[in-house]
Amino acid sequence: TRTPVNVTVTGAAGQIGYALLFRIASGHLLGADVPVKLRLLEIPQGLKAAEGTAMELDDCAFPLLRGIDISDDPNVAFDGANVALLVGARPRTKGMERGDLLEANGGIFKPQGAAINAHAADDIKVLVVGNPANTNALIAQAAAPDVPRERFTAMTRLDHNRAISQLAQKTGVPVSEIRKLTIWGNHSATQYPDIFHAEVAGKNAAEAVSDEQWLADTFIPTVAKRGAAIIEARGASSAASAANAAIDHVHTWVNGTADGNWTSMGIPSDGSYGVPEGLISSFPVTTKDGTYEIVQGLEINDFSRTRIDASVKELEEEREAVRGLGLL
Ligand code: NAX
C-alpha cells in the first residue's frame, strides 16, 4: 500500500475548488492507484463553505481519499505538501489598476511561497492557477529560495485545451487527432496559441488549415478571449474547464507526455526561444518521470515571433512591476 500523497488546494471553497476537489479525490490527478490526502487552505470567511465541501467529499466515500484537513494558515496547509494547487487569488475589481492587483496578490502568494519553503515536502510541485498566474508563480517562487525553481509552474493548459478544441472543430477531426499545439507567453489576452508545429491527423496543422486570416482573426482571438466569452454566456467564469486543465497539467507533469506529443506549461524560462531567463512563460514541453523539458529546435516564423515577443514583453512588465513592489 502506497503512502498517501498530500495535495494542498488553496481557494478550496471557490468555484474552481468545487470542480477540482472531487476529481483529485477520485484519482484523476495522480492516478487510480494513488491514495491522496487533501489539505484545504481558505481565508477565514471561506472556512465554513470548505467544511461543507469536505462533508460532501466524505459522502462520496472515495476509496483513494485518506483524509481532509482544512485551515486558514498556510503554514499548516502546506505542511508536508507534495502537490500544491494555488487557486485562490485576488480578482481584479472595478477601477483596480494593475499595480494594485499585483500588490494584492503579492500579499497572498508571498506568504504562501514562504510557507511552501518552510513546510512542504522535498518533492513539492506547485501549480499556480490564480491570476495573474504567471506572475503570481514568480512571486511564490521568489519567496521559496530553498525549493528548486522549476517546481513553480503556472497554468496555460486551459488555453492549450481550448486551442485544441477550436482547431479540431475547424478541421473536422476528433480532438485526439490534434498534437503538438503550443501556447506561448502569458496566461492573458496576449498569449499566443501556435499551430505552425501542430499536427492534425498527422499533417501539419497550418497547412491543413491553410487560412492565415482565420488564424489571425478568428482562432487566436477566440482562444485568447474564451474566458470572457464564458463569462458572457454562463454569467460566471470558467470553473469546471479550469479545474480540468489543472488536473491535466499535474497529471501530465507527473505521468509524462505521450511519444510524439507535447503540452504547454508556464515554467521558468532558461532563455530558450529568446524568452528572458527566469520569466515564468508558457512553452512547449515534454514531461517524463515528474520532470519537464522545453521542446528545442522549433523554427519560429515572423508571424509567431511578433506574437511571442508581445506576450513576453507583458510578462517582463509584470516582473518589473512586482520588483518595484519589493516582491521579488
Ligand atoms: P472564486 O472567487 O470562486 O474562488 C476563489 C477562492 O479563493 C475563494 O473561496 C476565496 O475565499 C479564496 N481565497 C482568496 N484568497 C485566499 C487566500 N489568501 N488563501 C486561500 N484562499 C483564498 O474564484 P475561482 O473561479 O475559483 O477562480 C480562482 C482563480 O483562478 C482566479 O484568480 C481566476 O482568475 C483564476 N483562473 C485562472 C485560469 C487559468 O487558466 N490560469 C482560468 C480560470 C480562472 O479564471
158 CB near ligand 1 (under 6 Å) = yes
Classify each residue of 98-131 as buried b or exposed e, where b means 16 or more C-beta atoms within 10 Å of its C-beta: eeebbbbbbebbbebbbbbbebbbeebbbbbbbb
Tell whether pTM > 0.90.
yes
pLDDT at position 40: 98
Please state, in angstroms and rounded to a whole number, the distance separating the CA atoms of residues 57 and 21: 8
**CA of 320: how far to CAs of 59, 226, 313, 315, in Å?**
47, 27, 11, 9
Q: Are 203 and 234 in contact (CB under 8 A)?
A: no
When pLDDT is averaged across residues 67-82 and rounded to a whole number, the result is 98
Reported as a single tens digit per residue, the pLDDT across 270-288 is 999 999 999 999 999 999 9
pLDDT above 70 coverage of the chain, percent? 100
As a whole number, mean pLDDT of residues 219-229 equals 96
171 close to ligand 1 (CB < 6 Angstrom): no
Q: Which residue among 96, 129, 234 has the greatest number of ligand 1 atoms within 8 angstroms of its CB, and so is best to mutate?
A: 129
Cell output for 307: 506574437
**Between the CA of residue 237 and those of 22, 149, 164, 223, 289, what are the distances in Å?**
19, 30, 20, 15, 33
Dihedral pair phi/psi, residue 261, rounded to 5°: -145, 165
Q: What's the pLDDT at 91?
A: 87
What are the backbone dihedrals phi and psi of residue 134, each rounded to the nearest 5 degrees, phi first? -65, -45
What ipTM was reported for this prediction? 0.98
Taking residues 91-108, what's their average pLDDT?
90
The per-residue pLDDT for range 29-67, each reduced to its tens digit, is 999 999 999 999 999 999 999 999 999 999 999 999 999
Question: Mean pLDDT throughout 318-324?
Answer: 96
Residues 263/257, Cβ–Cβ less than 8 Å: yes
Atom 8 (ligand 1): residue with closest C-alpha? 14
**pLDDT (tens digit, 9 = 90+) per residue, 116-160?**
999 999 999 999 999 999 999 999 999 999 999 999 999 999 999
- Cis peptide, bond prior to residue 132, ω within 30 of zero: yes
pLDDT tens across 6-34, in order? 999 999 999 999 999 999 999 999 999 99
139 pocket-lining for ligand 1 (C-beta < 6 Å): no
- Report the number of secondary-structure helices (H) and strands (E) in the chain: 12, 14
Task: State the pLDDT at residue 97.
Answer: 86
167/175 Cα distance (integer angstroms):
8
Q: In whole angstroms, give the CA distance from residue 143 to residue 120.
A: 13
> CA–CA separation, 5 vs 194, rounded Å?
35
119 classed as catalytic? no
Check pocket membership of 76 for ligand 1, CB cut-off 6 A: no
Cα-to-centroid distance, 239 and ligand 1 (Å): 10
- Nearest-atom number in ligand 1 for the CA of 88 is 7
What are 162's strand-pairing partners? Answer: none
Q: How many angstroms separate the alpha carbon of residue 135 from the centre of ligand 1?
A: 15
A 10 A CB-CB count for 311 gives 24
Task: Give mean pLDDT, residues 285-313.
Answer: 98
